[in-house]
Chains A and B, each alone.
Chain A
Amino acid sequence: MNQPWLLLTLVGADRPGIVAQVTRVLFGVGAELGETAMMRLGNQFAIMMMVRGAGTTDEVAGLLESTRADFGLKLHVDEIDAALHQHREPDVSVTVHSADRTGIVADVTAALLEAGMNILDLRSDVGGSADKPIYIMQIDGESSDGIEPIEECVARLADQGLTVRVTPLETMRG
């Protein structure tokens, strides 16, 4: 029987070679990688990786200790109840932008939840300049109640000074 999936999270200052070193160590002990996502947030490196076949959470942390120390990273390993081949397809995309202020994510996600949208992917950035920041957010999700409630909720968000665009998505399969 397969070992359970572990979720490995690494965070730290971004330097070339982190992913190559981590995966080399894991490959060296015969570990299997599942889905992974890496991003840079605020000049920091962050990666989440599904890993199995490399032992327990403590054993994986031990395997990666020297790499963690070399790159000055924070490492976290959890056992998770995950499985591959569970992809879901978004059918709506929402893009938001405005002058930055606190509460944008809370306001938008609360409104989308009320409109029946389940968020599958969210990415937000602060752009502009330090004295005039702007907030940009891109959300993909599933609209359980159709797109109309989302368009209505977007109209209300526009009254709060947010520019919001809703785009229906359809996956072409052939």
Chain B
Amino acid sequence: MSVETLPILTYPDERLKTECEPVEQFDPELREFAEHLQYTADQGPSAVGIAAPQVGRMQRLCLVDATRAKRPVDNHGPLVLINPAITNWKGFAVGREGCLSIPDYTGKVIRAETIELTAQDAEGRTVTYKMKGFEARIAQHEIDHLDGILFLDRLVSRHADLRER
């Protein structure tokens, strides 16, 4: 299989504002898509995550990879999260976010400081994670994509100054 870079949709494409459908088929095609998606994120400017709808596949699949943070942070390694659902939230923090689908703009967003989530992996097995800080921020950003929500929808004041993580 040759790995391809998939075209990234950019704002204001309506698909970025559309809720995605659950993944039901856990087959080789799905795993191949996840590899293309990872390769696509790798070609962008220092991305730590990407979601399927950003390349026009309207299914609940996203990648989270906090190992790519510039400074080391707590992480669970590179993750493929399918049909993810956040089951618990705790605390909040302000951080700056950008998006592959929104070039040349970053802004401050409040996210839960720690989350628990359940999802399926690329084989369809149920997985659960407890994430905090930067990794939790990535997961919340990517899961928002699956619900048609962009970080632009969650911007707070430029001068918001809760402790940054």
Contacts and interface: CB of A to CB of B under 8 A. Distances in A.
Given A87-B105, A87-B106, A174 B99 contact: yes
B69 A170 contact: yes
Given A138-B159, A138-B161, A167-B164, A172 B104 contact: no
A56 interface: no
Interface string A54-90: 0000000000000000000000000000000101011
A43 interface: no
Contacts of A168: 71, 164
B100 interface: yes
A172 B164 contact: no
A98 to B, nearest CB: 17
B80 interface: no
Contact of B47 (A93, A123, A173): A173
Given A87-B106, A167-B164, A168-B71, A173 B100 contact: yes
A173 B99 contact: yes
Pick from A123, A138, A174 the residue with the most CB of B within 10 Å. A174
A172 B104 CA distance: 13
A169 B141 contact: no
A133 B162 CA distance: 23
A90 B164 CA distance: 12
A174 B70 contact: no
A113 to B, nearest CB: 22
15 contacts: A87-B104, A89-B98, A93-B164, A95-B161, A167-B163, A170-B71, A170-B134, A172-B96, A172-B98, A173-B48, A174-B41, A174-B49, A174-B64, A174-B100, A174-B141
